[in-house]
Amino acid sequence: MDLPLLLGILPQVLLDGLILGFMYALIALGYTMVYGVLEFINFAHSEIFIVGAFVGVELLLGLKSAGLLDALPWPLVLVLVLVAGMAASGVLAVTVERVAYRPLRHAPRLIPLISAIGISFFLQDAIRLFESLWRNAFNLVYPTMDVLNVRFELTQTVDVSVKSLVVIVAALAMLGVLHLLVNRTKVGTAIRAVAEDQAAASLMGINVNRIISLTFLIGGAMGGAAGVLFGVQYGLINPYTGFIPGLKAFTAAVLGGIGNIPGAMLGGLVLGLLEALAASYLSLLTGGAFGAEYKDIFAFSVLIVILIFRPKGLLGEVIRGRA
Amino acid sequence: MLRIDDLHVYYGEIHALKGVGLEVCRGEIVALLGNNGAGKTTTLKTISGLLSPRRGHITLEERSLAGVAAHDVVLRGVAHVPEGRRIFNRLTVRENLTMGAYLRTDDGIEPDLERVFTLFPRLKERIGQVAGTLSGGEQQMLAIGRALMASPRLLLLDEPSMGLAPVLVEQIFATIREINQQGTTILLVEQNAAMALEIAHRGYVLETGVIALTGSAAELGENADVRRAYLGE
């Protein structure tokens, strides 16, 4: 086996894994924050994520046909697209909660879950219907901006593109802002209070429904940002693209400890790295017996092992109050 | 200050309060006594908006309070220290106290924080600590302190002695009396009738959803039925 070759590609593999991991982390936040306040898995979140990607591509295509894509400075374009995707996904998440989950708040737990799956199908096909009427297209390609594809060569075997840097910087910035919001502001403290005890929170004067809406807004916006970044990084989306990344992000949230915000970030990064490592090394290490297509099997096997030994997830520690 | 008339509350089909009426005047400590399941906690939860009455009136300072949402009742000057304390275990002591003042924007928050620390110096020592790691007595202090951060005119206390060692109970009750002397009206639910009647001005005895008896604390303490049923004679 060619050890220098194996080690030589490692930095590149880690970089790819990190990018994928940040994407999962951003999506996983939506699952984990909603679970934190409602103990409910929002299975429509994968579609809330992909709606962000579609709003992003529509805006980019609109700018392109207006001739503005190359006329405007590219960081401004990216910020515009990110904000639009975040706003659309955030508002959509709040609306879905209002229409499909809140009326079922006191129903048995399976009922809102089924409602979420229904919303997921509804959104997939609504996007498909809209795009087939509007563009007569199923797959949409993100318009490229030349600057995003510029690559910097770090070493002979490692290079990094501008769009990869954009994904990392944007994801880090959003995770940082979210961390400050949740841990350093009064409204963030209120979110954590509602997550722990809704009745006690309402006795403090906290409007619980408003905090729940806010949680969906933030989680949805993070998902929308991930959608735009996903489109920028991988280029091709269709109405069903959200499902697999959504499922993996949900897994990442469980891996980190569902309901735990730093856990979702960590779980996303771990899953992304595992997947990238498996994709590059499985085939090399097994002499081709297991190809890169086994990456998910490898990543999920590791997850199963981790969850056997830490069923609450990596950071899912429960602090029990004394009676 | 607080007046309740003919209050009926149901849990599904269970008729928990069957026409409860009581009154709390400004400056008083009123004790609400009774056995498990008599409806004491239900009464407090209905006042603070966690439960809605099916029938009856609750008026606070001449304005109706029945059916007002819990998060709006706080704005009317009522703070509720719920049964079992219900502090936020994963939040720090400081964050718990901040949540108590959630709706306030006035500049009285800092002085009120100092007031809470004067009443409960232990909380100041533990200010950065996660609340779930506090002892039972400290958690009760935090629950009361958190409620005081809303600067309430009426404080509802549900079983502040529950699960505490006798020496701590003495201490908590002395502080409750002090809070009252500083001008806060108190409605106190207690199973520890002896302690409650010691600091209360008046009391009500609740039996299976109806008020069975009322009088001054001294009268209730001498009542033969009360002594037999609640004071262990």
Amino acid at A283: S
Dihedral sign for Cα atoms in the order A254, A255, A259, A265: negative
**DSSP conformation class of A290:** S
Rounded distance between C-alpha atoms, residue A54 and residue A237, angstroms: 8
In this structure, how many other beta carbons lie within 10 angstroms of the beta carbon of residue A318? 11
Rounded distance between C-alpha atoms, residue A132 and residue A135, angstroms: 6
Q: Does one domain contain both B83 and B67? A: no
Annotate B105-124 with DSSP letters as a single string.
-STTHHHHHHHHHHH-HHHH
B123-164 tens-digit pLDDT: 999 999 999 999 999 999 999 999 999 999 999 999 999 989
Q: Does one domain contain both B69 and B119? A: no
Q: Does one domain contain both B28 and B141? A: no
Answer whether residue B163 is part of any domain: no
Question: Residue B53 in contact with residue B46, Cβ under 8 Å?
Answer: yes
Answer whether residue B87 is part of any domain: yes
pLDDT score of A318? 54
| Packed helices A10-38 and A186-196: angle between N→C axes, nearest 10 degrees | 70
Question: Residue A275 in contact with residue A28, Cβ under 8 Å?
Answer: no
- Residue A203 in contact with partner chain B when CB distance is under 8 A: yes
Question: Residue A84 in contact with residue A225, Cβ under 8 Å?
Answer: no
pLDDT score of A320? 43
Rounded distance between C-alpha atoms, residue B50 and residue B71, angstroms: 9
Answer whether residue B11 is part of any domain: yes
Q: Does one domain contain both B92 and B119? A: yes
- In terms of CA atoms, which chain B residue is nearest residue A194? B88
Q: Which of B52, B49, B42, B35 is closest to B20 using CA atoms?
A: B42
pLDDT score of A300? 84
**DSSP conformation class of B36:** T
pLDDT score of A1? 58
User: What percentage of residues in chain B have a pLDDT greater than 70?
Assistant: 100
Q: Which domain holds residue B131?
A: 78-147
Q: Do A319 and B132 touch (CB under 8 A)?
A: yes
Q: Do B90 and A192 touch (CB under 8 A)?
A: yes
**Token couple for B35:** 């056995």
Burial (Cβ within 10 Å: 0-12, 13-18, ≥19) of residue A28: buried
B167-196 tens-digit pLDDT: 999 999 999 999 999 999 999 999 889 999
CATH number of the domain that residue B181 is part of: 3.40.50.300
Rounded distance between C-alpha atoms, residue A36 and residue B130, angstroms: 18
* Mutation site, B45, B47, B73, B102, interface A, largest A CB count within 10 A: B102
pLDDT score of B224? 85
| Packed helices A10-38 and A261-285: angle between N→C axes, nearest 10 degrees | 150
Q: Does one domain contain both B110 and B49? A: no
Strand (E) or helix (H) holding B18: strand B14-24
Q: Tell me which residues of chain A have a pLDDT lower than 70.
A: 1, 317-323
The single residue listed with the structure tokens 């005895």 is B205
Which of residues B147, B166, B182 is at a domain's end? B147
User: Residue B211: beta bridge partners?
Assistant: B206
Answer whether residue B162 is part of any domain: no
Answer whether residue B167 is part of any domain: no
pLDDT score of A149? 87
Answer whether residue B108 is part of any domain: yes
* Mutation site, A203, A212, A260, interface B, largest B CB count within 10 A: A203
Q: Which of A80, A96, A79, A76 is closest to A30 using CA atoms?
A: A96
**A106-139 burial string, b = 16+ CB within 10 Å, else e?**
eeeeeebbebbeebbeebbeebeeebeeeeeeee
Q: Does one domain contain both B84 and B72? A: no
Q: Return contacts of A121-125, CB within 8 angstroms, 24+ apart.
A: A123/A44, A123/A47, A123/A48, A123/A51, A123/A92, A124/A47, A124/A239, A124/A240, A124/A242, A124/A243, A125/A239
A288-306 tens-digit pLDDT: 788 888 888 888 888 888 8
Question: Residue A6 in contact with residue A246, Cβ under 8 Å?
Answer: no
Rounded distance between C-alpha atoms, residue A303 and residue A20, angstroms: 16
* Mutation site, B11, B47, B71, interface A, largest A CB count within 10 A: B71
pLDDT score of A159? 85
Sort out which chain A residues have CB atoms less than 8 A from B129's CB and list them.
Answer: none
Annotate A227-275 with DSSP letters as a single string.
HHHHHHHH-EE-TTTTHHHHHHHHHHHHHH-TT-HHHHHHHHHHHHHHH
Annotate B169-223 with DSSP letters as a single string.
HHHHHHHHHHHHHTT-EEEEEES-HHHHHHH-SEEEEEETTEEEEEEEHHHHHH-
CB nearest to B88's CB, from A196, A202, A208: A196
Rounded distance between C-alpha atoms, residue A93 and residue B155, angstroms: 38
C-alpha gyration radius of chain A: 20
Question: Residue A57 in contact with residue A144, Cβ under 8 Å?
Answer: no
In this structure, how many other beta carbons lie within 10 angstroms of the beta carbon of residue A295? 20
pLDDT score of A319? 44
**Token couple for A262:** 């730093």
pLDDT score of B7? 95
Q: Does one domain contain both B19 and B73? A: yes
Which of residues B129, B147, B165 is at a domain's end? B147
Give me the helices (H) in chain A, please: 3-8, 10-38, 45-65, 74-96, 110-134, 162-184, 186-196, 198-203, 208-234, 243-256, 261-285, 295-309
Q: Which of A305, A313, A317, A235 is closest to A31 using CA atoms?
A: A313
Domain count, chain B: 2
Q: Do B89 and A193 touch (CB under 8 A)?
A: no
User: Residue A249: beta bridge partners?
Assistant: none
Rounded distance between C-alpha atoms, residue A40 and residue B78, angstroms: 32
What's the mean pLDDT when you consider all of chain B?
94
B12-30 tens-digit pLDDT: 899 999 999 999 999 999 9
Q: Does one domain contain both B72 and B91? A: no
Answer whether residue B168 is part of any domain: no
Q: Do B74 and A203 touch (CB under 8 A)?
A: yes
Q: Is the pLDDT of residue B229 over 90?
A: no
Answer whether residue B166 is part of any domain: no
Q: Does one domain contain both B65 and B136? A: no
